[in-house]
A and B are shown apart, each in its own frame.
Chain A
């Protein structure tokens, strides 16, 4: 009798949670301190919760971007929670969002970060920025969405820190203006990072058809419910863009038409 029982494996799909964090000059001081504190606390909480999660095994990756981007976690693999240590980020430089996205495009593949033997749930990517992108990110974003299925299907959430944050850019990146949350004070920022991470880790891994993409919004809604109200605004979909009309741009002949003749 063949041992099917032998070949059975206990398998928990991996849920990658990827942090893409703005460490530009404007983040220095209290903002980056809040982020650092948040990450320390988040990791601890995640460790507790993930043990009890029957559907998924949470693994982390973190990418910092300012002038260029660099991986905080390993470039070869996602890190297990028990192996994840947070080394404080230092802020300084510009806001090269495009560089970060192209790095994601490169690394989100089964031959790079997603190298695991175990199957994956749809990754969750948390983007955090406080300013405007200083490099051209739109084409990079288009390419990533076109060529990288993991990026395209990933549940993407945006956190806009402060008034100067480019919410439109974030909305473009995460693909949905309703998946962007704005924060205006550091305590809420801390809480938000923590809560968003926790909620993301519990995203259900039910089989869905490819037309369902509500995860990001569900995460946001649940997060909003768990946060104190002050200091957080949710982006509502902007009003329909006024379309530029393709009006009569051809050159007209200028003549002297004497209408009185007619």
Chain B
């Protein structure tokens, strides 16, 4: 029995009409309808149940609406409704049809990522959005696989279910979804409440799931449990949790026959990614929230990883090892790394479609982390194919030619990839070698 029928009209608190078009779906806390608001088709979420404090929740929602969305990737509440029958709701944008829930990608039977690179781009977008959220002072508190909607063709991410987003250390009574909650929340038995640190643990879980196709805490220990009672759940996801690839303790390693995918993926992960995960899920990080990787740390390793994935002529994706020639495991051809871009912390392979982002040069502001600097493209010049770097900064870029001359590269101008050319960006020098 839904509260509203098609044709019903509600009002928002600023006096606008909200007309019900049809019922869409039922969620954990409420129902979602398609509505018409200010002449556009939107979605309305109407609550059926509330957490601990309805009034507090209402005020928080009101605040969030007036503060506006922290980033374009968030599906944020736009207007609050008046109270009817002791309940209320809010209006937000409709989720476009091409977007699929993250959980559909994990089952891998419905939708798939078109390539591994695409999966990493999704990780980058998710991490970046959260960095912005946290730095605006919010914490999500309910990060899980149901919050993310991904367009498999473009790689765009929409973050939904922002109902419980609240200023850090303020809580609406929701503690999260099982399997995605930080260990201290699970073992805290409702006494420890979520905050940005616990968000970070949930973020790490989501990144691991996207990249390795398995939950980071679900290995042999988890497999042997026939029935996941709360007691067992606490053992697996609480303070006693153990990473499946923990350096010191292999007792929760994946069971080959029943979990074959994760071993394959893990084998191909570069060391710095493995280290990042090992650190995020180390016993230390499980017990001490401050030891967890911050969003910037993730952005750094993910952008590096993205640039190290190139496409072989046979169609297979190759993970370049150490910016040097790597063999394709599928067809056996060697991928020649002809040019590298020497960055302050490591060297980047210059392949077709490589991107260089702001965060790869060192620390920066959250909003600038994924600002593009350079992008490699192939063009035809004088009848032959030339690899060039395009200035994506949107402003002039200082470069030094092979003969030592200084040149200013205009926005969108192309620089041929030749050994010896240097760029000076944000006081850092990067060189083509």
Query: Bound pair: A and B?
Result: yes
Q: Which residues of A contact B (CB under 8 A)?
A: 243, 245-248, 252-257, 259, 261-262
B380 pairs with A246, CB closer than 8 A: no
Question: Chain B's nearest CB lies how many Å from the CB of A12?
Answer: 38
The CA of A257 and the CA of B382, in the complex, are separated in Å by 8
- Which 7 pairs across A and B sit closest by C-beta, in order of nearness? A257-B381, A254-B380, A245-B313, A252-B380, A253-B379, A246-B315, A259-B416
Q: Contacts A245-B315, A256-B381, A257-B381 hold; do A262 and B331 have CB atoms under 8 A apart?
A: no
Residues of A within 8 A of B414 (CB): 255, 257
Question: Chain B's nearest CB lies how many Å from the CB of A210?
Answer: 17
* Residue B231 interfacial (CB < 8 Å): no
Partner of A257, one of B352, B388, B401, B402: B388
Q: Contacts A257-B388, A259-B418, A262-B402 hold; do A245 and B381 have CB atoms under 8 A apart?
A: no
* Residue B211 interfacial (CB < 8 Å): no
A252 pairs with B401, CB closer than 8 A: no
A245 pairs with B314, CB closer than 8 A: yes
B415 pairs with A262, CB closer than 8 A: yes
Partner of B418, one of A247, A248, A254, A262: A262
The CA of A246 and the CA of B114, in the complex, are separated in Å by 15
B381 pairs with A262, CB closer than 8 A: no
Q: Contacts A243-B314, A262-B402 hold; do A257 and B378 have CB atoms under 8 A apart?
A: no
Residues of A within 8 A of B380 (CB): 252-255
The CA of A214 and the CA of B314, in the complex, are separated in Å by 31
Q: Contacts A252-B379, A262-B402 hold; do A257 and B314 have CB atoms under 8 A apart?
A: no
Residues of A within 8 A of B385 (CB): 252
Question: Chain B's nearest CB lies how many Å from the CB of A168?
Answer: 23
Residue of A nearest to B331 (CB): A243
Residue of B nearest to A246 (CB): B315
Question: Chain B's nearest CB lies how many Å from the CB of A250?
Answer: 9
Residues of A within 8 A of B351 (CB): none
Residue of A nearest to B383 (CB): A254
Annotate B374-391 by CB proximity to A: 1 below 8 A, 0 otherwise: 000111111001101000
The CA of A256 and the CA of B413, in the complex, are separated in Å by 12
The CA of A262 and the CA of B402, in the complex, are separated in Å by 6
Question: Chain B's nearest CB lies how many Å from the CB of A129?
Answer: 34
Residues of A within 8 A of B388 (CB): 257
Question: Chain A's nearest CB lies how many Å from the CB of B33?
Answer: 39
* Residue B348 interfacial (CB < 8 Å): no
Residues of B within 8 A of A257 (CB): 379, 381-382, 386, 388, 414, 416
Question: Chain A's nearest CB lies how many Å from the CB of B330?
Answer: 9
Residues of A within 8 A of B402 (CB): 262
Residue of A nearest to B333 (CB): A245
Is chain A's interface secondary structure helix, strand, loop, or mixed overall? loop
Q: Which residues of chain B from 312 to 367 have any CB-CB distance to chain A below 8 Å in the complex?
A: 313-315, 331, 352
Contacts A/B (CB < 8 Å), 29 sampled: A243-B314, A243-B331, A245-B313, A245-B315, A247-B313, A252-B379, A252-B380, A252-B385, A253-B379, A254-B379, A254-B380, A254-B381, A255-B380, A255-B381, A255-B414, A256-B382, A257-B382, A257-B388, A257-B414, A257-B416, A259-B381, A259-B386, A259-B416, A259-B418, A261-B401, A262-B401, A262-B402, A262-B415, A262-B421
B378 pairs with A262, CB closer than 8 A: no
Residue of B nearest to A255 (CB): B379
The CA of A246 and the CA of B352, in the complex, are separated in Å by 14
The CA of A252 and the CA of B386, in the complex, are separated in Å by 10
Residues of B within 8 A of A252 (CB): 378-380, 385
Residues of A within 8 A of B377 (CB): 253
The CA of A77 and the CA of B400, in the complex, are separated in Å by 84
Residues of B within 8 A of A253 (CB): 377, 379-380
Q: Which residues of chain B from 377 to 433 have any CB-CB distance to chain A below 8 Å in the complex?
A: 377-382, 385-386, 388, 401-402, 407, 414-416, 418, 421
Residues of B within 8 A of A246 (CB): 315
Residues of B within 8 A of A254 (CB): 379-381
Residue of A nearest to B401 (CB): A262
The CA of A247 and the CA of B352, in the complex, are separated in Å by 12
The CA of A257 and the CA of B379, in the complex, are separated in Å by 9
The CA of A194 and the CA of B380, in the complex, are separated in Å by 65
Residues of B within 8 A of A262 (CB): 401-402, 415-416, 418, 421
Residues of A within 8 A of B401 (CB): 261-262
Residues of A within 8 A of B315 (CB): 243, 245-246
The CA of A102 and the CA of B328, in the complex, are separated in Å by 41
The CA of A248 and the CA of B380, in the complex, are separated in Å by 13
Question: Chain A's nearest CB lies how many Å from the CB of B388?
Answer: 7
Residues of B within 8 A of A248 (CB): 352, 378
Question: Chain B's nearest CB lies how many Å from the CB of A258?
Answer: 8
Residues of B within 8 A of A261 (CB): 401, 407
Question: Chain B's nearest CB lies how many Å from the CB of A28?
Answer: 47
Question: Chain B's nearest CB lies how many Å from the CB of A22?
Answer: 38
Question: Chain A's nearest CB lies how many Å from the CB of B433?
Answer: 15
Question: Chain B's nearest CB lies how many Å from the CB of A241?
Answer: 12
Residues of B within 8 A of A259 (CB): 381, 386, 416, 418
Residues of A within 8 A of B407 (CB): 261
The CA of A261 and the CA of B405, in the complex, are separated in Å by 10
Question: Chain B's nearest CB lies how many Å from the CB of A167?
Answer: 27
The CA of A79 and the CA of B381, in the complex, are separated in Å by 73
The CA of A245 and the CA of B379, in the complex, are separated in Å by 20
Residue of A nearest to B330 (CB): A243
The CA of A211 and the CA of B401, in the complex, are separated in Å by 62
The CA of A148 and the CA of B35, in the complex, are separated in Å by 45
